[in-house]
Each structure stands twice: as C-alpha cells, then as structure tokens.
Structure 1
C-alpha cells in the first residue's frame, strides 16, 4: 500500500512577542492604594488641599520615574504603552487637583469643571489609580528577583 496523499508542509510557528504570563498577587497593591487614599482624605480634612497636593506630588514624581524606566527598559511594547496611559491619566487629575485645590483653598470656586462639585476631592483616588496600574505593570512584566 502506498500513500498517494500530498505531503503537508509544516509552517514555522510564529513566535509571540508577548512574554509568558506570570501570576502575581495584587493584594499588597490594593492595601497600599487604600491606605494612600485614606491618608489623602485625612490630610484634606486636617490641613486642606495644599497638603494633599504635596502628598500627590510625591506619587506623581514616582510615577514619572517609573514610566520612563518601564518605557526605556521593558522589552514588551504593551507595558510601555500602558505605563504612558497611566501617566497621562494621572497627570490630568493632578492638574485638576492643583488648579481646583488651590482655588478652593483661597475660598474661590473650582476653576476646572466647576459643575462637578466633588471632583477635586476625588482626584487623589484617580491619581492613585495610575500609581496602582504602574505597580501592576511592574509586577506583571518586570524582571523577577532571583533567589540565587
């Protein structure tokens, strides 16, 4: 018996540029996120918006440094793009916090989107959302510490 069926050519498998999926536990990130937002609200209640602006400035500077590091060193392109989106998202809300927070601390009405009454008080939540996203990017696609 001879097999007259045509030989099937094997196609080379395409290699994915996506790194292997790694499991990580974001529970520590959730805890950090919750504590930072609660501290921001306590600072707002105790000292006003200038104290919240100073606290959020620390996180925005850290976010800028991490974004530059991820964009320049991580091989996976999506990680860099996601880092930039997180930075832009957080910077928009930081600008709203600074402009409206300083206006409110001077007994003026909010300047940016004054129709949204509580927008300024919610901005730490949104800024920390970008920081939270960056922490997840670093844990998902960043280099792992070696045990050896």
Structure 2
C-alpha cells in the first residue's frame, strides 16, 4: 500500500495491513505527525511481519522515467486505480485546492491544463496534481 497523506491516515493504513503487508510512506501532505496507539505494532492476530518503509521520489531520479512510465501504463490498462476523486479544468483551480483541504473528497484532486502552444482545438491536457503548496495558496500563479 502506498500512503501519501501521513499523520493519522498513515496509522490507519498500517492498521489494515494483513500479515506480510508493506506500507510505503511516500508523502506527508497532512503535515501531521504519526502516533501509533499501544498495540498497533503487535504481531498477533495475523498481523505479523507488517512493514513500513519510506520513499523519496527524487533519490532515484535516474530510474524515475521508467517507473512513471510503468505506473502510467498500469493506470491506462485499468490495472491501477489512482483514486482520483475530483478532476476539473484549470479554471477551477481554487475549487480543486479547497475540496481536499476541507476533506470533502475521498481521494486525489487533479486539474487539467490545456497547453497554449497547441494548434489543434483538442489539445491534450497536462495533468497537474494538487499539492500541499497549492492548498496553502490556491490563488497562486502556476506553470505547467
């Protein structure tokens, strides 16, 4: 399981891991610390050998392109669900930032940015995930 929010979400995610499960802490967008209750790290009741590991995207920039290509292919084939709960266009950037901040969407918020340099009317969108920085300042100027 890959967890991006941190804080209580990471603790909850660890709590649902089955035996031999791996939780990858790949982000901490909540800014909250983690506090595991007494017993959360016990291995009884078919909870043995659960692992938490960390991941920092930029430590492996050499392999990043291949990894992202693989994940994109899985998503395109429907084998990986990125849990996008809100997808909207660039004109709704304030909404896309406000909804996750208010915990009103149960997943990721994504905005599509149309490239101005395209000559066709059906320009391919550039997908921009809403980040913690965007949540702090939804009115900022962004470049894609």
Q: Same fold (TM over 0.5)?
A: no
Instruction: Between the two structures, name the one with larger relative contact order (CA 8 Å, sep ≥ 6).
Output: 1
Which has the larger helix fraction? 1
Q: Give the shorter-chain TM-score range.
A: under 0.3
Q: Which of the two has greater strand per residue? A: 2
Structure ID, larger Rg: 1
User: What TM-score, normalized by structure 1, do the two folds share?
Assistant: 0.20
Please report the TM-score for the alignment, with normalisation by the length of structure 2: 0.21
